[in-house]
Amino acid sequence: MTHDFLIIGGGIAGVSAGARLAALGRVLLLESEPALAYHASGRSAALYEAQYGKPATVALNLASRADHYSLDGGVLSPRGLMVLAGPGQGDAFAHDVADMHLTEVSVAEAVARVPILRAGAIHAAAIHDEAWDIDTDRLIQHFARTIRTNGGQVATGARASAISRTAHGWEVTVGEDVHQARILVNAAGAWADQIAIMAGIAPIGITPLRRSVARIPAPGGHDVTRWPMLMGAGEGWYAKPDAGQ
């Protein structure tokens, strides 16, 4: 079967692009892993803070705010953000406060809000209540349903092994199957260069890397429900209260 759009990658970039394109033509989305959002999209801190990131990212954040509130009944819930500075982090802290429109608070106020903080280790603090948790699974599944509702297909465990240009578009080999499409969308995230090389396109230097995370019970039995996301100045570290941990 020939598709209008063939998307490689089932993270948030791939499924959201597929959902928008599904109204314009036949979509086939291929995800190499056994489930959608298997890597970064399903393992991120999942915080929506519109002013976070580079200017282009902030523009996209702001443009997507209304959808986050309305898609599938809304995928956001209140969280808030607190940025903390230690010794020698004054410049990074000032940069974060300006970029993310934070409100500076006293160290005592910060400790009152998050009692496990050590006042002696904090030189400055700022907060922002305009930050929300994102229900990533709900968001991903909403977009996947939109693709299918519009007649498209979402295939997991479908790893592309070869890509070739044709007179009418592209051919992508997955196992013994060959899929054809007019337009190919590379949404493979950290593996985007590998897909580009298969398609005969020069890579741009994207490399998949591992990250480490520690998941621990709430210290001292505290109720962390209303604690904000915590971030070190310059984003040297972050901690997110989640599911009592």
Q: What does the domain layout of the chain look like in residue ranges?
A: 2-46+135-198, 80-131+212-239
User: Is it the case that residue 158 has pLDDT exceeding 80?
Assistant: yes
- pLDDT given at position 205: 96
Exposed e or buried b per residue across 140-157, where buried means at least 16 C-beta atoms within 10 angstroms of its C-beta: bebbbebbbebebbbeee
Q: Residue range 87-96: average pLDDT?
A: 95
Q: For the chain, what percent of residues have pLDDT higher than 70?
A: 98
pLDDT tens across 181-201, in order?
Answer: 999 999 999 999 999 999 999
Question: Which CATH fold topology does 80-131+212-239 show?
Answer: D-Amino Acid Oxidase; Chain A, domain 2 (3.30.9)
Return all residues near 8 (Cβ < 8 A) that are at least 6 apart: 14, 30, 160, 172, 184, 185, 186, 187, 188, 195
Residue whose entry in the numeric block shows the structure tokens 């929506």? 48
Q: Residue range 155-182: average pLDDT?
A: 96
Contact 150, 22 (CB under 8 A): yes
User: Is it the case that residue 245 has pLDDT exceeding 80?
Assistant: no
Model confidence band, residue 27 (pLDDT cutoffs 50, 70, 90): very high
Selection from 12, 18, 1 nearest residue 154 by Cα: 18
Q: Residue range 24-47: average pLDDT?
A: 91
- pLDDT given at position 244: 56
- pLDDT given at position 242: 79
Tell me the one-letter amino acid at 104.
E
User: Is it the case that residue 243 has pLDDT exceeding 80?
Assistant: no
- pLDDT given at position 1: 67
Choice between 59 and 219, residue whose per-residue pLDDT is larger: 59
DSSP label of 101: T
User: Is it the case that residue 216 has pLDDT exceeding 90?
Assistant: no
Range scoring the smallest mean pLDDT among 22-26, 107-111, 192-196, 206-210: 206-210
41: enclosing H helix or E strand? helix 40-43
Q: For the chain, what percent of residues have pLDDT higher than 90?
A: 77
- pLDDT given at position 214: 82
Model confidence band, residue 44 (pLDDT cutoffs 50, 70, 90): confident
- pLDDT given at position 220: 81
Q: Does domain 2-46+135-198 have CATH number 3.50.50.60?
A: yes
Q: Residue range 237-244: average pLDDT?
A: 81
User: Is it the case that residue 209 has pLDDT exceeding 80?
Assistant: yes
Give the Cα separation of 78 and 130 in Å (integer): 8
Q: Residue range 107-112: average pLDDT?
A: 96
Q: Residue range 99-111: average pLDDT?
A: 95
